[in-house]
Structure 1
């Protein structure tokens, strides 16, 4: 089922809640500039295995409201905390991809991991996001030819071959975001760092990273593994930035083994 949760006056986040009666809950936080729909190939499988899967569209993206402000790690983490409180979630797994992984890290540090039993970081854009050069390039393109920027993101995202229909689907997912929110998160990824957040994470953490990732270097996953105390790094040998699709069977199996049922 899909519904909206109010996180501040005039700002409602879209939540996709699949199998609410599941015995284990996984909260998925998507990457930039996508939406909860990127996890389609988890939502196809995991609920049927007994998991409750919750996908949250951040403000400015997917089906959520698109305000002009609020695009900082603190505010985005606050939004997640409001959803967690509204849905009365506890003992859940928090899984974040790319920038969603960075938001998950800030949530863990800012709220002492409130309600989270386990953390999954998928090609996380942390502890740093974009280089200044990359960010400025994306920013210029976003403000002048956003479809061209999104096509470049799509073309560099996957290591494995993707069909034209799949590329079109992925491309349109990114364009569902507002231009201003897309640009604001590029600035966020350029300017905000998460080094001080990492030692504050105490929940068991699974780090997944494609070794062919052209968006976030796999060296950053190694740094996360070193700085997060109770963490395990699993490199995905045949993935770029999207192991949740490129090696989806392995990804789903690893996720369920880590969480249990």
Structure 2
């Protein structure tokens, strides 16, 4: 069932709430929507779990105010959804940009309600290179992405989608996948790109004390698998599951394995 939840005056985010049982909250990546987890919904609902997918503000079906596209605001929106739905003892899953947003949620609002954190191809602890951190894109490469979005957003999305997967998928699927990104607002897409470029989470990632599982595609061209190796070496209570045949979109490239590992984690 889809619903809109007010997160501040005149701003609502869209939430899919499907199934019954232990809740699993999914935070999608940039610049997509919760529809990108379509291949996981039935697997969860059929096995007694409650899928909760949040469209981040500015993206998907959620409202798209002009400003405030950063991890703090996104984490606040997640907290408002968790509070409205009265969620406790849930698994929090963050994919790509949803990964650092999930970490920021725990930093700002605590882990009391979260039993397990799942980071999937996460853009964490940061998406871009910095002093003492050589992984990921260079900040100026993100500047180029922003310029390309401003010049020709559909053209950029087509190119970006081509980097997303390691396996070939049908033309209808790729068109559908691109439509998820194009459904989002241009200004929200750019605002989150700036957050990906600038946000820093190394200290708060090191401070994570709850159980953490890391899923990552070995052939990821967007968030290199070295990011998850860094986190696995840094987070005290973490486990890394590598998808050897997958790119960034491991939940599509190796859907069966992804769902098997997801259900194994939830048991």
Q: TM-score range by the shorter chain?
A: over 0.9
After TM superposition, give the deviation of residue 161 of structure 1 in Å: 0.6
Query: Quick check: 1:121 aligned with 2:119?
Result: yes
Q: Could you say what secondary structure the match of 2:94 adopts?
A: strand
Cα displacement string for residues 211-233 of structure 1 (whole angstroms, at most 9, x for unaligned residues): 10000111111111122111001
Query: Quick check: 1:188 aligned with 2:195?
Result: yes
Match in the other structure for 1:4: 4
Pick the aligned partner of 2:179 from 163, 167, 172.
172
Match in the other structure for 2:22: 24
Q: Distance in 1 between matches of 2:148 and 2:39?
A: 30
Match in the other structure for 1:259: 266
Query: Quick check: 1:234 aligned with 2:232?
Result: no
Q: Could you say what secondary structure the match of 1:67 adopts?
A: coil
Q: Could you say what secondary structure the match of 2:239 adopts?
A: strand
Match in the other structure for 1:85: 83
Superposition TM-score, scaled by structure 1 size: 0.97
After TM superposition, give the deviation of residue 255 of structure 1 in Å: 1.0
Q: Distance in 1 between matches of 2:219 and 2:58?
A: 29
Match in the other structure for 2:155: 148
Give yes or no for contact 1:108–1:200 (8 Å, CA) kept in 2.
Answer: no
In structure 1, runs of 5+ residues without a counterpart are none
Match in the other structure for 2:139: 132
Cα displacement string for residues 101-154 of structure 1 (whole angstroms, at most 9, x for unaligned residues): 110111112222241000100000011114213201110011110001101110
Which stretches of structure 1, 4 residues or longer, exceed 2 Å deviation after superposition? none
Moved more, 112-121 or 153-162: 112-121
Q: Distance in 2 between matches of 1:52 and 1:177?
A: 25
Cα displacement string for residues 30-75 of structure 1 (whole angstroms, at most 9, x for unaligned residues): 0000000000000122101111000000000000000111211111
Give yes or no for contact 1:207–1:225 (8 Å, CA) kept in 2.
Answer: yes
In structure 2, runs of 5+ residues without a counterpart are 129-137
Q: Distance in 1 between matches of 2:113 and 2:165?
A: 32
Q: Could you say what secondary structure the match of 1:120 adopts?
A: strand
Pick the aligned partner of 2:53 from 47, 52, 55.
55
Q: Distance in 2 between matches of 1:114 and 1:33?
A: 29
Q: How many pairs are equivalent?
A: 258
